[in-house]
Each structure stands twice: as structure tokens, then as C-alpha cells.
Chains A and B, each alone.
Chain A
Amino acid sequence: MPRIKLGNWAESAVGWLNAHLSWLFDAVNTVLTGAYDAVHAVLGAPQPLLMAGILAVIAWWLRGLPAAVAAFAGLALIDSFGLWDQATATLSLVLVASLITLLLAVPLGIWAARDRRVSGALRPVLDVMQTMPAFVYLIPGVMFFKIGPIPGLIATIVFAMPPGVRMTELGIRQVDGELVEAARAFGTTPRDTLTRVQLPLALPTIMAGVNQVIMLALSMVVIAGMAGAGGLGEAVYSAVTQVDIGGGVESGVAVVVLAMYLDRMTGALGKRVSPRGRRATAKAGANRPVNLLRYRPGTAVATVGIVVLALVAGGMHLAGGGGRESVAAGPNVGNGKHIKLGYFPWDEAVASTYLWENILEQRGYKPDVKQLDPGPLYTALAQGQMDVQFDSWLPTTHKQYMDRYGSQLSDLGAWYGPTSLELSVPSYVKGIDSLADLKGKSAQFGGKIIGIEASAGMMGKLNSTVLKEYGLDGEYQVVSSSTATMLAELHRAIDKKEPIVTTLWSPHWAYGTYPLKKLKDPKGAWGKGEQIHAVGKKDFGKDFPQVAQWVKNFHMSEKELSSLEAAIQQGGKGKEKESARKWLDARPGLMDKLAPVTS
């Protein structure tokens, strides 16, 4: 069987598209960004509780008072978690994605319902859209559309489209054939048959599709958060990767609140717009005594309520505007220039990135900090959509990215080193001090080495070199999961004093938190330690000559880095910037040492 190089073809296709159709992607990007920004501006403008009030009035209008109260409570809860901004970002993304999805899906569904061939051709495409793991197209999405909400938006549209198309098609096909025949028998044109008979009768099914679209969009938006779409997805993701259980639960609950709100509202809207639903409402409303719990304001009343709240919100926004500006301290050499810092949630990356955010802000730059996975981040840097990141482990761990994108990146030099990769066991595991000692002991560890992401460089190295070197390859199975899972497993095992072998690296906060010992590597199978580099986009030196100079001279000792990491760890999630700032402020002179200004 010859190797079918589908992957290569796809890569060339992506390359070709990127080279030749960038104008198209730019246009799409502009339109989508505009739509997203507009919706986000509207949703984000009012004070959180006021916006919650507006959404509660909508709930009142659609479902009644109990729903309104529940909606308000849920949304207020999100605000109290400090996740309001993320929630409005997510909501905006969901609304824009759903709207675009429906604009595409409903006509496609209609077309498919009227033409068997179209239906047949669409089916496999929809299957692919629904089942292809989202990351497969999230990454090309980043290449085409720049890092930010748009790749997430595109991925969401792709993922949420199938039920919209399918339910529209199903709804129309389900309309009794005799009714369609009756319409034709009275001389109805095909177009009128669609608008007067098929669509009204298919509406309940189509609305169920709309509901599905919105719910899928929400679930996808969370995943897209990992590729820089921001919002609650990013909050969930960063909480999970930092084993911040509490933060994870809070962001998760925020997602659930949004999901329930959107689900109930679209469900009620479906009843409201379908002809039979309207009729039932009209009947029920005709002769029923007024009951506050069941009372629902009419459309006019609800509209007035929303407008009043919106006006209040607008007024408050104008009055309160300008209060949030922070004052930059020290010499301003950045002149407000935006600089995009990317990081993936490794502790030294978080530490160095937030440190630099503070430094750059104090020097008059406007740093934007964004969390991404390594793959998307390197892609974004190579595309020039990100300016710099600080956590490039070279020459081994991130070799694959440098091999791939090296020519499109600029290496700003190492700021920490050497690092080391190792397998570690809890210190209560006796008699195992080096990799060689693992041989014949697999039963003790269940034959498993708990690894991290399969994509990590050290995982490849472990499987291809280290295990073979010590003759462990038949004996141990490397379980790839994620760093968060590995750390959770480590935490659990140590709690119960169970033996465990994990992949780990230095520097890592786990060494300060848990009693661990690094297994010696007498044969040097892991290779030499690595250096942590800062890597910029290709033109970084040209765009930010001063910053490039500072970063090239940047260096941290193990002591400095571990104290910074500890400070950030203690400061807690969501306060990384503040913690780094305190750490920096507590070291007079460091600022000028790291970012000297000649004047």
C-alpha cells in the first residue's frame, strides 16, 4: 500500500491558499471582525448588572417572571466571579457565529430539501464539518485569519452549521406532501409554496435547529478559546492548565449559565414565532386572570423596557467613560505602541510574560497579552500576528517549530538556562534514583509513565531515545495526556503515597510544592539541558528596536525565576499581572536594569 500523502497535499493547499487568496481572507477577516467588534461593543458597553437587567427583561418577555429572575441571578453570578468581560466576549462570539451560521445554513437547508442531489452532496461535507476535530482547522484558521476571535469564529461556524442545515432540510421535508400538493393544485408558485406553506410549517423544526446551532456554537467557542478566541474559553483553559480547580469551576459555571440562558431563550423564541405557538399564546392570553408569575410583558412593553435600560446604560457609560485609563510611570519610550505578547500556560512563560507586560507598560507601550497553545502561537509569530513570546525551549523541545518556522522568526536569545528534562518520582519511592533503576520495576508503577501532551518535544524524546537507552521501552507505556492531567495525577498519587513516574522538567513549581526527586540520567539520554529563548516575529527587531535590545540582554537566574513564579502562584489566578508588578516593585533598580532608557 503506497503512502497516500494527504497531509502533504493539505499543507500545500493551505500554503497556496495563504499565498494567493490572502485578499479574500483579509476581506472576510475585516467583515467578521467588524461584526464581532460591533456586537461586543454593544454587549460590553453597559454596566454588567444593567446588561444583566436587559437580558432578564428579554427572559421575562419570552418566558415570564421566574425565568427573568433566574437569568438575572445567573448573570449576576458571572459578574461576581469577575468573568463578565469574558462572558460578554463569549456571548458576542456565539451571537455573531450563530447569526452567520444561520444565514448560511437555512438557505442551504432549503436548497437541500428541494434538490436530492444537493442533499446528497451536502451530507458528507456536513459529516466532515461535524466530526473533524476542531483543532485541525483551528490552526489553518490562525494562519489565514490572524490570531484572535476570527479563527475561533470560523471554527465555530464550521462546527455549528450542520444541525442548522440538517434541521432546515428535515423540517421542510417533513411537511405533509399532500399540503404541498394542495398548494400546487391551487396554482401556488414554487417560491410561494416555500414561504407560505413549507417554511411556516417547518418552523418548529428549524427553530430546534437554531437552538442546536447556538448550543454547539457555545461549546465550540469554549474550545476556540484555546486558540486565542478569548472569552470564557480562555478562562476555562488557563484555569485547567494551571490546575486551578476553583477558577475552572467558576468559568465552567459561567459557561453553563450562558448555555442555559441561550437554550431557554431560543426554545421560547421558537414557540413565539411558530404559527401554532402564536395561536396558543393568543388563546391562553385571551381569558386568563392576571397572575404575576405567569405574566409576560407584551413585545411593546418589553421593547420599551430594554430601550430604557439601554439608555440608562448609555448615559452611565458616557458619564463614567475615561475613568479607567491607567497612568504609565517612568520614561515613556513606547509612545503607546501596541505590542503583542503571546504565551502558553507554562509557568516560566506566564512569569516572564507578565513581568514584561509590566515593564513595557511602564515604558509607555501598550502590551496585549494573549494565551495560546504552542502550535498556534508559533504559527502566529511566523505570520507576524504576534510580536514576541518568551518561552522557546531550544534546541530540543521546540525544535519542530523552529525547523518549520525558523526562517520566519527572529531568535532574541536565551534568558534562562540550562533547563533539564527528567523523569521524576516522589521522594518516598525508595531504591529508585536513576533511570537505570526503573528497569524491572514496572509492576510498581502499573507499567505506566505519566506523560504530558503528545505534541511536546520531550514526549518524542522519551519514546524515541530515553526509554530505549535504558532498555525500558518494552516495559513501560508512556501515557500521553496533558500537563494539567499529569500534575493532577501527581497530586493524587502523592496524596495517597502511591508510587508514580512522571515526565517533568526544571524549572517547575512542582519541585517546590511536592517532595520529588529527579531520576539521574547517567547515560545522558535526555541530552544536554536547554536554554529558554525569547522569540520574536521576523521583523521584531525592525518594529521594536528598543524592546529587542532589552530582551536580548534579559536574563534571569533560577532563584529570580522561582521567586517570581512563586509570587505569581501565590497571587492567584487572574492577578498574574498584579503579582508580577509587586514582585518587580519590590526590587528597586531591576526595572532600569531590565529596560534601561538612555536619556
Chain B
Amino acid sequence: MSSTREVYVSRLRAEHLYKVFGRRPEAAVQRLRDGAGREELRADGITAAVIDASFEVRAGEIFVVMGLSGSGKSTLLRMLNGLLDPTAGRVLYDGRDLTALSPRELREVRSRNISMVFQHFALFPHRSVLENAAYGLEVRGVPRAEREERAAEALELTGLGGWERSWPDELSGGMQQRVGLARALATDADLLLMDESFSALDPLIRRDMQDQLLDLQKRLKKTIVFITHDLNEAMRLGDRIAVMRDGRIVQNGTAEDILVRPANDYVASFIQDVDRTRVLTAGSIMEKPDPERLDPERPGGSAGEHAATVPSGTPLAELFAPFAHSTAPVAVTDERGQLAGIVTRERLLAALGEQPTTEVTA
């Protein structure tokens, strides 16, 4: 296994996935490949849920698939663990083609390598919190004592220590989803599929959960595919984001890529309402520092007055405070603490007022 990991940089790889519902799905895929549109098929009573989706997810990253309802994102997610069988295309997990597995092998993969967190939590109401968290291990046949210990650890991790003996319907929505998360973590699966996992929660709780997921991710370094229809959530969580529309992936890139270089009008209109101050970073709008003000003698800084010095990953929202007190530019440093550029007041305002420009990407 370790050797294949070296060959395949990506943990998960989707290759030209299609999912078509209706009669003679294979023929429909051929028509799509020949250039037929989704509407054309719909007229024949065929639903093309996912069309030619390809992407790679690297080990340890959060890959967000974002799209409105009906865009095919949930269908896409369910093909990744074989809950739905792709009509065409392959899913490679650590180089292993999941679409070619027997039902038994596929169940084995699901119980060991890929786990899932659901939109409406999908907790078993007839099982206690602990039994829910231990479910995946129970299916795998892990002895009771061991599985309960590991389930309790997972609950501890998601902040639910002490609630083991409670029942799902006694918990709030956020707590229920923590159980759902603990259930997914307890199996030690590396790949987590999260299907709109925070969408059913109210905004404050949702934010808490996002924070907790990011915090857990720092420690656990799981590989996560996260489905959402909420662009702000996508921007917040995603190392990389794939935007889906009408069954197709229309853009795939980092949050900044999407914000600064939307692939088409659709993405552009989609990101209109995004709070750019929280997505764009100092590094993405900084200018070359004025050479005259550069002071090579001073390590990690430049000569002259700076309102503040910030790392390049700082969101723009955090630059307002320094500018409130000073007209001097803010210095931006790279990972090594070297001066990488500056952000002036004018530059900041220009970046916020800027309409995204549509670029044609291949």
C-alpha cells in the first residue's frame, strides 16, 4: 500500500464520472459525450445528475464541492463510496478502482477507509450515543469493549465526553452532528465524506462546527470531501473548491482562484455576495514593496513606517484596524518571515470594490 501511495499523490481521484438516471443510461452517456445537453436528455425522461466529473483530492486536504440543489453534488459524493454506482468513469482510492470492487470488498472499504457524515445526522434513534458512535466498528466485528473504548475516544474528540449514555433525540442539532462526526471518526477511516453536514444547523452552531472541523483537521489530517451549497462555508473550509452546476464541475481551484478569477459568469454571479474581506488575503492583493523603502539591514522588515506587519494568509478583514490608526502601508511577510510585499490603503479599497473579472479557462 505504501508504495502505491507514493505513485499516486492523490488520495482520491475521480475520472470522468457520469451518473444518469433513466432508461438506457449508457446510451445517454454516449450522447452526452457526443455533445448532447442536459435539457435535451431531460426531454426524453432521462436525468443526467453528474456529467464528466474529474478531480483529485490530495491526502490531508479538505476538498469542497459546492453547488446549488440539483447540481449533482450529493450524487457525486455517493459515487465516491459506491452508494451509487457510476454509469461511467472510475473512482480511484489510493490507486484502487472502487467501481470494480465486489459488493463485499466495497463494504470492507466503507467500514475501514471511507466514512460518511450526513446532512440530517442519520443517527440511529434506537441506539445510545455511544452505540451510534461505535456503529462502524460494530459492523466491522470489533469486540464490544474495544469498540466502545474507541467510540468514547471519538466522542471525546468531538467534545461529547460524558454524553455516551444519552439518546440521540435528547441532544441538540449541533450535538447530534458531533455524534455523527464521532461515528465517522471512530472507524479511523482516512477519507471522510461530508454531505451538507452543517446545513441543517442554525448559523451560530454551524460556525462552531466549522471551527471545530478545522481544529480537528489540524490534528487528524484526514482527507475530507465536503459538500455544501453555502459559498461562505466553502470558502472557509475548503483548501480547494469545485463549483458544480447542472451536473458539471465548472471550476476547480482555491478560494482565491474562484474569487479573483471566476471561470464564467455563473461562478461570478455566485460569488457576488461573498464576504470578500474574509476570503481574500493580504498576500493576494499585496504590491511589490517600494524599493526605496526596502531596508536589507533589517531582517523580516522594511525601512520606514508600517501600520502593521502581517503574514500573507491574513484575511483582509483584519487589515481594517491598522489602517484606522495609520495611513502607512501594512507590511506582508512570507512563511519565513521575510518581507513579501505591502498593502496600501488605496490597494485595499480597490480590491474590495473590484468586480471579479471573468477569464476564459480551458
Residues of A within 8 A of B (CB): 176, 178-179, 181-189, 192, 197, 200-201, 275-276, 279
Residues of B within 8 A of A (CB): 81, 83, 106-112, 115-116, 118-120, 122, 124-126, 135-136, 139-140, 167, 183, 187, 193
Q: In the complex, which residues of chain B have a beta carbon less than 8 angstroms from the beta carbon of A275?
A: 126
Q: In the complex, which residues of chain A have a beta carbon less than 8 angstroms from the beta carbon of B139?
A: 183, 186-188, 192
Residue on A nearest B78 in the bound complex, by CB = A181
A-B contact pairs, 23 of them (CB 8 A): A178-B119, A178-B120, A179-B122, A181-B118, A182-B124, A183-B135, A184-B83, A184-B110, A185-B116, A185-B193, A186-B110, A186-B111, A186-B115, A186-B139, A186-B183, A187-B107, A187-B109, A187-B111, A187-B112, A187-B136, A192-B139, A275-B126, A279-B167
Residue pair A185, B83 in contact (C-beta under 8 Å):
yes
Q: In the complex, which residues of chain A have a beta carbon less than 8 angstroms from the beta carbon of B126?
A: 200-201, 275-276
| A189–B108 CA distance with the chains assembled, in angstroms | 10
Residue pair B110, A185 in contact (C-beta under 8 Å):
yes
Q: In the complex, which residues of chain A have a beta carbon less than 8 angstroms from the beta carbon of B116?
A: 182, 185-186
Q: How distant is A279 from chain B, measured CB to nearest CB, in Å?
A: 7
Residue pair B125, A185 in contact (C-beta under 8 Å):
no
Q: Choose one: A182, A188, A189, A192; the contact of B122 (CB below 8 Å).
A: A182
Known: A186-B111, A187-B111, A188-B139. A181 touches B122 (CB 8 A): yes
Q: In the complex, which residues of chain A have a beta carbon less than 8 angstroms from the beta carbon of B109?
A: 187
Known: A186-B187, A187-B108. A178 touches B122 (CB 8 A): yes
- 7 interchain residue pairs of minimum CB distance: A187-B111, A275-B126, A187-B110, A182-B122, A187-B107, A185-B116, A186-B136
Residue pair A185, B81 in contact (C-beta under 8 Å):
yes
Q: How distant is B7 from chain A, measured CB to nearest CB, in Å?
A: 26
Q: In the complex, which residues of chain A have a beta carbon less than 8 angstroms from the beta carbon of B183?
A: 186
| A200–B126 CA distance with the chains assembled, in angstroms | 7
Q: In the complex, which residues of chain A have a beta carbon less than 8 angstroms from the beta carbon of B107?
A: 187-189
Having A181-B122, A183-B139, A185-B81, one finds 20 other A-B pairs with CB under 8 Å, namely A176-B120, A178-B118, A178-B122, A179-B122, A184-B83, A185-B110, A185-B118, A185-B193, A186-B135, A186-B136, A186-B183, A186-B187, A187-B111, A187-B112, A187-B139, A187-B140, A188-B107, A189-B107, A197-B124, A201-B125
Q: In the complex, which residues of chain B have a beta carbon less than 8 angstroms from the beta carbon of A183?
A: 135, 139
| A176–B140 CA distance with the chains assembled, in angstroms | 23
The interface centre, meaning the residue of A184, A187, A201 with most chain B CB atoms within 10 A of its CB, is A187
| A182–B187 CA distance with the chains assembled, in angstroms | 14
| A181–B83 CA distance with the chains assembled, in angstroms | 8
| A178–B193 CA distance with the chains assembled, in angstroms | 14
Residue pair B122, A176 in contact (C-beta under 8 Å):
yes
Q: How distant is A274 from chain B, measured CB to nearest CB, in Å?
A: 8
Q: How distant is B288 from chain A, measured CB to nearest CB, in Å?
A: 50
Q: How distant is B118 from chain A, measured CB to nearest CB, in Å?
A: 6
| A105–B110 CA distance with the chains assembled, in angstroms | 33
Residue on A nearest B104 in the bound complex, by CB = A189
| A184–B183 CA distance with the chains assembled, in angstroms | 14
Q: In the complex, which residues of chain A have a beta carbon less than 8 angstroms from the beta carbon of B136?
A: 186-187
Q: How distant is A515 from chain B, measured CB to nearest CB, in Å?
A: 71
| A192–B108 CA distance with the chains assembled, in angstroms | 14
Residue on B nearest A192 in the bound complex, by CB = B139
Residue on B nearest A203 in the bound complex, by CB = B126
Q: How distant is B178 from chain A, measured CB to nearest CB, in Å?
A: 15
| A189–B111 CA distance with the chains assembled, in angstroms | 11
Residue on B nearest A179 in the bound complex, by CB = B122
| A201–B126 CA distance with the chains assembled, in angstroms | 7
| A279–B168 CA distance with the chains assembled, in angstroms | 12
Residue on B nearest A186 in the bound complex, by CB = B136
| A181–B118 CA distance with the chains assembled, in angstroms | 9
| A186–B167 CA distance with the chains assembled, in angstroms | 20
| A418–B107 CA distance with the chains assembled, in angstroms | 83
Q: In the complex, which residues of chain A have a beta carbon less than 8 angstroms from the beta carbon of B140?
A: 187
Residue on A nearest B111 in the bound complex, by CB = A187
Q: How distant is A308 from chain B, measured CB to nearest CB, in Å?
A: 35
Q: Choose one: A182, A187, A189, A192; the contact of B118 (CB below 8 Å).
A: A182
| A189–B110 CA distance with the chains assembled, in angstroms | 11
| A178–B135 CA distance with the chains assembled, in angstroms | 15
Residue on A nearest B120 in the bound complex, by CB = A178
Q: In the complex, which residues of chain B have a beta carbon less than 8 angstroms from the beta carbon of A182?
A: 116, 118, 122, 124
The interface centre, meaning the residue of B111, B112, B119, B193 with most chain A CB atoms within 10 A of its CB, is B111
Known: A178-B118, A186-B136. A276 touches B125 (CB 8 A): yes
| A189–B116 CA distance with the chains assembled, in angstroms | 16
Q: Choose one: A185, A192, A276; the contact of B115 (CB below 8 Å).
A: A185
Q: How distant is B141 from chain A, measured CB to nearest CB, in Å?
A: 10
Q: In the complex, which residues of chain B have a beta carbon less than 8 angstroms from the beta carbon of A176?
A: 120, 122
Q: How distant is A596 from chain B, measured CB to nearest CB, in Å?
A: 75
Q: In the complex, which residues of chain B have a beta carbon less than 8 angstroms from the beta carbon of A201?
A: 124-126
Q: How distant is A102 from chain B, measured CB to nearest CB, in Å?
A: 21
The interface centre, meaning the residue of A179, A186, A188, A197 with most chain B CB atoms within 10 A of its CB, is A186
Q: How distant is B60 from chain A, measured CB to nearest CB, in Å?
A: 22
Residue on A nearest B119 in the bound complex, by CB = A178
Q: In the complex, which residues of chain B have a beta carbon less than 8 angstroms from the beta carbon of A279?
A: 167
Q: How distant is A214 from chain B, measured CB to nearest CB, in Å?
A: 24
| A275–B108 CA distance with the chains assembled, in angstroms | 28
| A197–B132 CA distance with the chains assembled, in angstroms | 11
| A188–B116 CA distance with the chains assembled, in angstroms | 13
The interface centre, meaning the residue of A181, A185, A276, A279 with most chain B CB atoms within 10 A of its CB, is A185
| A176–B108 CA distance with the chains assembled, in angstroms | 24
Q: How distant is A373 from chain B, measured CB to nearest CB, in Å?
A: 49
Q: In the complex, which residues of chain A have a beta carbon less than 8 angstroms from the beta carbon of B115?
A: 185-186
Q: In the complex, which residues of chain B have a beta carbon less than 8 angstroms from the beta carbon of A200?
A: 126
Q: In the complex, which residues of chain A have a beta carbon less than 8 angstroms from the beta carbon of B111?
A: 186-187
| A187–B184 CA distance with the chains assembled, in angstroms | 12
| A178–B140 CA distance with the chains assembled, in angstroms | 20
| A466–B106 CA distance with the chains assembled, in angstroms | 81
| A276–B128 CA distance with the chains assembled, in angstroms | 11
Residue on A nearest B108 in the bound complex, by CB = A187
Q: How distant is B97 from chain A, measured CB to nearest CB, in Å?
A: 18
| A279–B167 CA distance with the chains assembled, in angstroms | 9
Residue on B nearest A180 in the bound complex, by CB = B122
Q: In the complex, which residues of chain A have a beta carbon less than 8 angstroms from the beta carbon of B81?
A: 185
| A197–B109 CA distance with the chains assembled, in angstroms | 20
| A323–B46 CA distance with the chains assembled, in angstroms | 80
| A279–B183 CA distance with the chains assembled, in angstroms | 22
Q: In the complex, which residues of chain B have a beta carbon less than 8 angstroms from the beta carbon of A178?
A: 118-120, 122
| A72–B108 CA distance with the chains assembled, in angstroms | 56
Q: How distant is A119 from chain B, measured CB to nearest CB, in Å?
A: 21
Q: In the complex, which residues of chain A have a beta carbon less than 8 angstroms from the beta carbon of B122?
A: 176, 178-179, 181-182
| A197–B135 CA distance with the chains assembled, in angstroms | 11
| A29–B81 CA distance with the chains assembled, in angstroms | 52
| A189–B106 CA distance with the chains assembled, in angstroms | 11
Q: In the complex, which residues of chain B have a beta carbon less than 8 angstroms from the beta carbon of A179?
A: 122, 124
| A185–B122 CA distance with the chains assembled, in angstroms | 11
Q: How distant is A106 from chain B, measured CB to nearest CB, in Å?
A: 18
| A183–B83 CA distance with the chains assembled, in angstroms | 11
Residue on B nearest A187 in the bound complex, by CB = B111
Residue on A nearest B113 in the bound complex, by CB = A187
Q: In the complex, which residues of chain A have a beta carbon less than 8 angstroms from the beta carbon of B83?
A: 181, 184-185
The interface centre, meaning the residue of B108, B136, B139 with most chain A CB atoms within 10 A of its CB, is B139
